[in-house]
Amino acid sequence: MLAILNPIMRVVEIILAPIQRGFGLKGMAWAFLAPNLLLFGLFAFLPVILNVSYAMTGGDNVLLADRPDVGFRNFATLTDCGSYLDPNTCREDKFWRAVWNTAWFVTLQVGFMVGFALMTALILNREIRARGFFRSVFFFPVLLSPVVVALIWKWILQREGVLNALLDWAGPGGINWLVEADWAFGWSVFISVWANMGFYTLILLAGLQAIPRDVYEAAIMDRASAWRVFSRITMPLLSPTMLVVLVLALIRGVQTFDEVYAFTGGGPGTATTFIIQYIYEEGFAGAPRLFGLAAAASLMVAIVLVMLTLVQLWVNRRNVDG
Amino acid sequence: MQKRFASTALATTLAAAITAPAMAQEIRFMCYSDGNECEVYEDVLSRFEAANDGVDVVVDVVPFQAIGENLPVQLAAGTGPDLAKVVDLGGLNEYYLDLTPYIDTAYWDESFGETLNWYRAGDRQGYYGMHSQLTITGPFVNATLFEQAGVDLPGEGATWDDWAAAAVAVAEATDADFPMAIDRSGHRVAGPAVSYGAALNGPDGPTLSDEGFAAFVEQFVAWHEDGTIARDVWAGQGGSSYQDAAAEFINGEIVFYYSGSWQVGRMDEQVGDFFDWRVVGSPCGPAGPCSGMPGGAGIVGFEQTEHPEVVAALIDFLAQEDIYAEVTARTRNLPAHLGVAGAGVEFEGASEAAQAALNGFAGALPAVDPAAFWYQGYPGNRAMFGITVERVSQAIVGELSVSEAVARMEEDLAAAMAESQ
Amino acid sequence: MADISDGGLRGVWGFLTATRGKGRLHWTDWVSYGYLTLGIFLMFGPVVWLVLSSFKTQNELDRFPPRFLPYEQQTVDVTGFEEPLVLFTVSEASESEVAGEIVAQTRRGAGRAEVVRPDDPETRIRLPAEDLAPIESVAFATNNYAELFERFNFLRFFWNSTFITVTATLLMLLVNSMAAFALSKYEFRGRTVVLLLVIGTLMIPQTVVLVPLFLIVTELGMFNSLWGVIIPGAATPTGVFLLRQYMITIPDEILDAARMDKASEWKIFWRIIVPLSAPAIAVLAILAIMWRWNDFLWPLIVLTRTENFTLQLALNSFQGELQTDWTSLLAMTVLTLLPIAMVFMFLQKYIATGIASTGGK
């Protein structure tokens, strides 16, 4: 493969040479950024900007030109609440139910997922046999499409599914998992941890393997306890990787949609309706399609996410400095 | 190797780009299947191609989601297909091709009658769609369970209360798990709601909160609470997603299952001789009517097409009595074509039980209340279906009380009507 | 996987006795292996269930309670009957003359069945249906798969999916690693702004901007073209973020040394940064392949013509409004899963070596 790629790279080098000569390193920086910025501009920023325009318009027309300007009315509709803690007092009660469900969900999901991913990564980092095999085992569910994940677990958990058959056989008897709100919620957390944990395990494992051996050897010389080694060496050295994991897990946790939507449809009632499902149903799947309301909701979520991420980055910076 | 990969790919894409426009009159038909419809259309349309030189009809079989969610966006952007099989009959009216100049309107009036109205909206009152599969909601009952329990099947004119009492008695006497189940869909509960007195099209416009509708919701929720209706179906899902209970009925767990004519094929194949199943007319309500709810899908052309005359000819071809009868028999759907319905259809490969069931459903059509017909033809009905499912589900799982749910339905409907004009 | 096959039998023993270093099994080793074994069950079990289910008939799929293996009722050809008849065992407690025998059922209705002995088709015997127990054997309904190939241009969909996945992944890796390099190794005005924009777009999932994105892609003439799926897919912020975080850890001294030797910036990127970032790039490659391969919502709106369909779209076309063809859908799901599982097994070895070679630095 290199035989083919090398000449191509040589050509790129020749094309880029004048830029480096003319504009120096700063010019090269922009040259490296340019293709990405072009794609980003068109397919990531522009849609977001259009989304802002949608948020300021009403009606159910698709094309912006046909949509009447309504200013901040969509935002006002979403935030029209007697008490934000009780969705029943809100005009868009579904939005606030989704917000609170998502908050709970993310807290549990990120906590469990990062916890288990770290534990799994630590175990896989030990000198164990068949490490490659076990790594594949834990990563495997990540390969499944969200719909398949949902389908498999739905079968296992349905009233007369595999799990209840096992429970009946073992004695305690089955539970109608997906009809009880709390169970359905718990299982949603479970399947999303199940489906995504492997990805974070892999990133953490890469981070663990990058920690130099000699640091550990020195600690063993000093007869440091296992916990001390973990809290004083492993965790601090792992913290840049941990930051990536936490930021991504949090953002993707808030954006959880496909697997839970296919799993419970957001039910029972609205027990597992999360914010992206609300946006999807209001703006796309439902009738009439309220693009404006959906866009406004998505912007509010994005703002909250940006703030959470900044807090994470800030905390991390303090930890690293201190 | 990578490079060869890319260059072949490029070559094929280029080839596709060059040959596509060169083809004379390529017609794109976006189709979704609930069984074998698209296959049958493809086969029948090859005859249309043979009769019309240079016309190439391509049937693109897509997931239903593509029709329900994406097609309207594509039409708005001007990138829709030439024709499609749709279910949001009135809602997409603004994009429909008016077939009037191309067809024999007298034949269409005589053949399709009332269903033509379902495709009309506002001041667009032309001929737009051919209703290709008519459905009607109604109950399936497990007659074997009734026999085991020694309970007589409630007869003609039995009410919802009679059926509920009978089903509960049967479930208690046998090992059936649930007396009743109803599909999770706003369309499915519309018939029963009308029977309970819901006007749907009230004096002040569409409503989901009049006394009749509220009475139905109250009874419906009460049946969920006392275990008369299987909770799994309505409480096991969220949002406005669809859920049926066919698997449970097939396993003999449900005594009385309210679904519709499209399930006949599946029951026929899967129940086999496991038990006797039967289709009975929709039960009557306290308000009088014993109404089911009509529905189904139809084929429409779009104004954006470059070949309106071909598209119209194609739809007209499918609307001819012999073709329509053949498609109906092969797809085992109820005919909306009055001529075909009048002559009776010998459904292909259907057992005696299935034939009887389909005839039973067809026979229930006259009992459909005008309110239900209006509802099926109302362009905003999808919004109303969605609102019903969401809010009634919330009442069933206890997130809202019945009166709160009814109040929310009223608000939701008002908001939806305000936004969509 | 590789480790097990490499080790062979010795590996199995070694696996059981492996320790943290040398000597006897520490209790933490027991805990570790216990955890990993539980992991196999939990992570693989459901997938095995999926594969087995794809070999079941629709009746078997709808059956309560479900059974682990696919079964099929045995049938027999009896003279005088066109169709094969299904076989039953009559219970010993039955009051009929055939108690305890094997019979073929000819008809059933309202709780009573009519049966014949397979060797005596003339004598019809009537008995209560509950006396009959079906005779079943394990049978894989390979027909589920065979039908797919008959009905569909499977290779075409496979090619479309592969083309989209490969092209989009290569494009994404190149463009994202270039951007990550610029954002991690250069000081320039506007860097923070660009970085914030990248992180900012992470916050808006594609599901939310489906409609604006669709309108843009249509304006650019990429509707119903595979490029309409490939190019927007290459602009994921996750990749830039992930790679940048990794590249920051590469020491600047290496770059400075190369610059001393008059290497061009492109050469530094291509010859130093990319090889050193191999583990991160491999992780991203797996992610990108997976995303594009499993992508559904976006291709569904951009591609409407059968000849452009991906496997995921074809798979979902078994979903009607009211009915879903589960047997075909499951078989298709398994077929769709196979290639990506193979790609992963290949790439995971590569990650292992990548990590090992940079791990010691």
- A140-151 pLDDT, tens digit per residue, is 888 888 888 998
Other Cβ atoms less than 10 A from the Cβ of A5: the count is 12
**Nearest residue on chain B to C107, alpha-carbon basis:** B273
**Nearest residue on chain A to B396, alpha-carbon basis:** A269
C105–B63 C-beta distance less than 8 A: no
Instruction: Give me B100's structure tokens.
Output: 């009037």
* Closest Cα in chain B, distance from residue C353 (Å): 22
C238–A138 C-beta distance less than 8 A: no
* Closest Cα in chain B, distance from residue C274 (Å): 18
Q: How many CB pairs under 8 A join B and C?
A: 113
3-state secondary structure (DSSP) of residue B227: coil
CB B330 within 8 A of CB B38: no
3-state secondary structure (DSSP) of residue A216: helix
Q: With contacts defined as CB-CB under 8 Å, which chain A residues touch B69?
A: 284-285
- Write down the pLDDT at residue C290: 87
Q: Using CA atoms, how far apart are residues C317 and B63, in angstroms rounded to an integer?
A: 4
Please state the three-class secondary structure of C149-169 as a single string.
Answer: HHHCCHHHHHHHHHHHHHHHH
Q: Which residue of A160, A267, A289 is in closest CB contact with B235?
A: A267
B383–A285 C-beta distance less than 8 A: no
* Closest Cα in chain B, distance from residue C250 (Å): 29
Q: With contacts defined as CB-CB under 8 Å, which chain C residues touch A138?
A: 39, 43
Segment C6-12 shows an average pLDDT of 38
Q: Which residue of C43, C66, C179 is in closest CB contact with A32?
A: C179
**Chain B neighbours, 3+ Cβ pairs < 8 A:** A, C
Considering only residues C109 and B72, tell me which one the structure prediction assigns the higher pLDDT. Answer: B72
A269–B393 C-beta distance less than 8 A: yes
Instruction: Give me C153's structure tokens.
Output: 């241009």
Considering chain B, what percentage of its residues have pLDDT values greater than 90?
Answer: 73
Q: What is the ipTM of this complex?
A: 0.87
Using the Cβ of C329 and the Cβ atoms of chain B, whether some distance falls under 8 Å is answered with no
CB A192 within 8 A of CB A260: yes
CB B336 within 8 A of CB B132: yes
Per-residue pLDDT tens digits for A73-106 = 999 999 998 888 888 889 999 999 999 999 999 9
pLDDT at A312 over 50: yes
Q: With contacts defined as CB-CB under 8 Å, which chain C residues touch B13?
A: 225-227
Per-residue pLDDT tens digits for B393-407 = 999 999 999 999 999
**Nearest residue on chain C to B147, alpha-carbon basis:** C110
B60–C304 C-beta distance less than 8 A: yes
Compute CA distances A279 → A108, A273, B23, B390, C288, whole Å.
Answer: 22, 10, 41, 15, 25
- Res. B271 pLDDT band, cuts 50 70 90: confident
Using the Cβ of C19 and the Cβ atoms of chain A, whether some distance falls under 8 Å is answered with yes
What secondary structure does DSSP assign to A258-276, as a single string? HHHHHHHTT-SBTTT--HH
pLDDT at B14 over 50: no
**Nearest residue on chain C to B3, alpha-carbon basis:** C167
Per-residue pLDDT tens digits for B274-330 = 888 999 999 999 988 999 999 999 999 999 999 999 999 999 999 999 999 999 999
Q: Using CA atoms, how far apart are residues A45 and A43, in angstroms rounded to an integer?
A: 6
Per-residue pLDDT tens digits for B180-228 = 999 999 999 999 999 999 999 989 899 999 999 999 999 999 999 999 9
Using the Cβ of C130 and the Cβ atoms of chain A, whether some distance falls under 8 Å is answered with no
Highest averaged pLDDT of the listed ranges A104-113, A154-163, C44-53, C105-114: A104-113
Q: How many alpha carbons fall within 13 Å on the CB side of residue B200? A: 27
From the number of C-beta atoms within 10 Å of its C-beta (0-12, 13-18, 19+), residue A119 rates as: middle
pLDDT at C81 over 70: yes
B62–C313 C-beta distance less than 8 A: yes
Segment A51-60 shows an average pLDDT of 91
* Residue B189 DSSP code: T
Segment A191-201 shows an average pLDDT of 92
Q: With contacts defined as CB-CB under 8 Å, which chain C residues touch A209?
A: 355-356, 359
Q: With contacts defined as CB-CB under 8 Å, which chain A residues touch B393?
A: 267-269
- Res. C352 pLDDT band, cuts 50 70 90: low
Other Cβ atoms less than 10 A from the Cβ of C204: the count is 22
Segment B233-256 shows an average pLDDT of 90
**Nearest residue on chain B to C325, alpha-carbon basis:** B35
Q: Using CA atoms, how far apart are residues B246 and B146, in angstroms rounded to an integer?
A: 18
Q: Which residue of C213, C245, C361 is in closest CB contact with A240?
A: C245
Q: How many CB pairs under 8 A join A and C?
A: 285
Considering only residues C80 and C206, tell me which one the structure prediction assigns the higher pLDDT. Answer: C206
Question: Quick one: CA torsion of B369, B374, B380, B383, rounded to 10 degrees?
Answer: 0
Q: Using CA atoms, how far apart are residues A131 and C2, in angstroms rounded to an integer?
A: 9
pTM for the structure as a whole:
0.88
**Chain C neighbours, 3+ Cβ pairs < 8 A:** A, B
Average pLDDT score over chain A: 87
- Write down the pLDDT at residue C110: 57
Considering chain C, what percentage of its residues have pLDDT values greater than 70?
Answer: 88
**Nearest residue on chain A to B232, alpha-carbon basis:** A179
Q: With contacts defined as CB-CB under 8 Å, which chain C residues touch A210?
A: 249, 355, 358-359, 361
Compute CA distances A48 → A95, B1, B70, whole Å.
Answer: 20, 38, 20
- Write down the pLDDT at residue A101: 95
CB B213 within 8 A of CB B231: no
Give per-residue burial for C258-270: e unless 16+ CB within 10 Å, then b: beeeebbbbbbbb
Q: With contacts defined as CB-CB under 8 Å, which chain C residues touch B232?
A: none
pLDDT at C16 over 60: no
* Closest Cα in chain A, distance from residue B320 (Å): 34
Q: With contacts defined as CB-CB under 8 Å, which chain B residues touch C307?
A: 16
C111–B147 C-beta distance less than 8 A: yes
* Closest Cα in chain A, distance from residue C31 (Å): 9
Using the Cβ of C97 and the Cβ atoms of chain B, whether some distance falls under 8 Å is answered with no
Q: Which of 98-137 (C) contact B at CB < 8 A?
A: 105, 107-111, 113
Per-residue pLDDT tens digits for C250-264 = 888 888 999 898 888
Segment C314-329 shows an average pLDDT of 83
The helix (H) or strand (E) run that includes residue C236 is none
Per-residue pLDDT tens digits for B324-353 = 999 999 998 899 999 999 888 888 888 888
- Res. B18 pLDDT band, cuts 50 70 90: very low
* Closest Cα in chain B, distance from residue A288 (Å): 6
Q: How many CB pairs under 8 A join A and B?
A: 101
Q: Which residue of B77, B383, B390 is in closest CB contact with A288?
A: B383
B68–A266 C-beta distance less than 8 A: no
Q: Which residue of B5, B79, B244 is in closest CB contact with C223?
A: B79
A135–C245 C-beta distance less than 8 A: no
B88–A287 C-beta distance less than 8 A: yes
Q: With contacts defined as CB-CB under 8 Å, which chain A residues touch B419?
A: 58-60, 288, 290
- Res. A240 pLDDT band, cuts 50 70 90: confident
Average pLDDT score over chain B: 90
B269–C218 C-beta distance less than 8 A: no
Q: Using CA atoms, how far apart are residues A199 and A190, in angstroms rounded to an integer?
A: 15
Q: With contacts defined as CB-CB under 8 Å, which chain B residues touch C58?
A: 269-270
Residue pointed to by tokens 């539980």: C38
Using the Cβ of C64 and the Cβ atoms of chain B, whether some distance falls under 8 Å is answered with yes
